[in-house]
Amino acid sequence: MNNILILGGDGYLGWPTAMHFSELGYDVTVVDNYFRRNACTELDVGMLYPVPTLIERAKIWHEKTGREIKVAIGDLTDPEFARSFFNGRAGYQWAVNEKFSGIPETVIHYAEQPSAPYSLMDYKHANITLSNNLLVTNNLVFALKDFSPETHVVHVGTMGEYGTPNIDIEEGWLEIEHNGKKDTFLFPRQASSLYHTTKIMDTDLFWFGVRMWDLRVTDLMQGPVYGVETDESVIDSRLKTLFNYDEIFGTVLNRFITQAIVGYPLTVYGKGGQTRGYLDIRDTLQCVRKAVENPPSKGKLNIFNQIMETFSVNELAEKVRRIGNRLGYGVEVKQLENPRREAEEHYYNPTYQGLLDLGVEPHYLTDESLEKMFKLVAAYKDNIRKDVIFRGVKW
Ligand SMILES: NC(=O)c1ccc[n+]([C@@H]2O[C@H](COP(=O)([O-])OP(=O)(O)OC[C@H]3O[C@@H](n4cnc5c(N)ncnc54)[C@H](O)[C@@H]3O)[C@@H](O)[C@H]2O)c1
């Protein structure tokens, strides 16, 4: 049985990924230090519904399916803890079988501070973001180098690494001709937040490890994800992944739907022409699975752009307004002065063919899928706190 280690397994994407691979028959271990939950408590941004602890969820999963997801709680910025999963010293806070699972064949790395506004709240949160994200990645690179260079890492990067250049965005690489000679380089990257800057640096750390020590890495440049339900989460409502609707941790579509339901005008920053690539959470699972099943050879870094379609913020707001009104919510859209420094109208033409070629079948954002999301969020309407929706983090 293939052995998968998921770093950040308590998170929005980590937990659904853990259930997905467990259901497929993999031997899954999840690691997390509750950074995300603690940050939500510190910043007083409640989630839409309470989420059982990682250990409770692993127990529920075991009760319902008979399958085991091993849980290790700890901070991956601690190098000894990070290395324990590769040198046989790992201990688990919960497991049916406490014996070490063995060195993982695949590591899925999600364990980072994932919010642009969080990274720019002030210098303290900037430092937390830089040290957390880079140390976790660097600890992983060195653990692989020292104990297991054969292990395949699937890291989730972000389309935000590319920024919004005035040329077509390729999948990771660009061939350059200069003074009559040609070479291929990482596509030029220019982040619009410190969080995104750490993701660029992650890619650079992995690229270094691939060049120096023949590591095998897939970096998935993902766009903002929306949705909650996956095939495995419907087994028991307590297995649903976390859902934030605040400006710090809520992704834009999840946030807009929540705002529509409580009559809070949809907050479009500036002109609203900011265009990004989006995907359904079920497609994150498909993409990560295809990446796991198609590892690169030693000494190779594969990069795929992980989006299924592109929308401007205005287009998303319009879709949410239309479906919300059809469902009887009087939805308003409000343009706010943009608290961020970013292009509000720009060229955006990314390539995203690689994962489709591997067999991913997209779930597009249809009226039906939006209606389903409205219904899911509306079931928790009484929990929604309007005061956490907008925080006005400026940069
Ligand atoms: N959700 C999206 O829309 C999206 C889009 C693009 C890229 N990504 C990337 O995907 C990854 C997962 O995103 P997410 O939305 O699930 O975020 P998340 O915050 O829900 O998940 C990350 C998990 O990692 C854990 N973690 C962070 N630092 C850790 C540490 N030092 N030790 C142990 N655990 C730690 C957190 O507690 C959290 O549970 C992130 O790297 C993010 O940059 C997410």
- pLDDT, tens digit, 9 for 90 and up, residues 136-186: 999 999 999 999 999 999 999 999 999 999 999 999 999 999 999 999 999
Q: Among all residues, which ones are annotated catalytic?
A: 158, 195, 199
DSSP symbols for 9-38: TTSTTHHHHHHHHHHTT-EEEEEE--HHHH
| Amino acid making up residue 26 | Y
- Ligand 1 centroid to residue 151 C-alpha, Å: 21
Beta bridge partners of 70: 29
- Region 335-348: what's the mean pLDDT? 95
- pLDDT over threshold 80, residue 1: no
Q: Which atom of ligand 1 is nearest to the CA of 111?
A: 24
pLDDT of residue 46: 87
pLDDT tens-digit series, residues 207-235: 999 999 999 999 999 999 999 999 999 99
CA–CA separation, 253 vs 224, rounded Å? 9
Q: Phi and psi at residue 23, in whole multiples of 5°?
A: -60, -30
Q: Which atom of ligand 1 is nearest to the CA of 135?
A: 31
- Distance (Å) of CA 263 to CA 63, 74, 249, 321: 39, 40, 20, 11
Task: Tell me which residue has tokens 């910043």.
Answer: 43
Ligand 1 and 332: CB distance under 6 A? no
> Best of 15, 113, 156 to mutate for ligand 1, by most ligand atoms within 8 A of CB?
156
pLDDT of residue 392: 87
CA–CA separation, 204 vs 187, rounded Å? 12
Non-local CB neighbours of 242 within 8 Å, separated by 6+ positions: 11, 12, 15, 36, 37, 47, 51
Beta strands 152-158 and 216-222, pairing class: parallel
CA–CA separation, 362 vs 134, rounded Å? 31
pLDDT of residue 313: 97
Closest CA to ligand 1's atom 4: 224
Domains (ranges, CATH) in the chain?
Answer: 3-388 (3.40.50.720)
Residue 239: CA count within 13 A, CB half-sphere? 22
pLDDT tens-digit series, residues 190-201: 999 999 999 999
pLDDT tens-digit series, residues 32-89: 999 999 999 999 998 999 999 999 999 999 999 999 999 999 999 999 999 999 999 9
Ligand 1 and 283: CB distance under 6 A? no
- Mean pLDDT, the chain, rounded, equals 97
pLDDT tens-digit series, residues 291-335: 999 999 999 999 999 999 999 999 999 999 999 999 999 999 999
Task: Extract the runs of DSSP E, i.e. beta strands, from 123-215.
Answer: 152-158, 173-178, 181-186
pLDDT of residue 23: 98
Is the Cβ–Cβ distance between 55 and 37 less than 8 Å? no
Centre a 10 Å sphere on the Cβ of residue 43 and count the other Cβ atoms it contains.
18
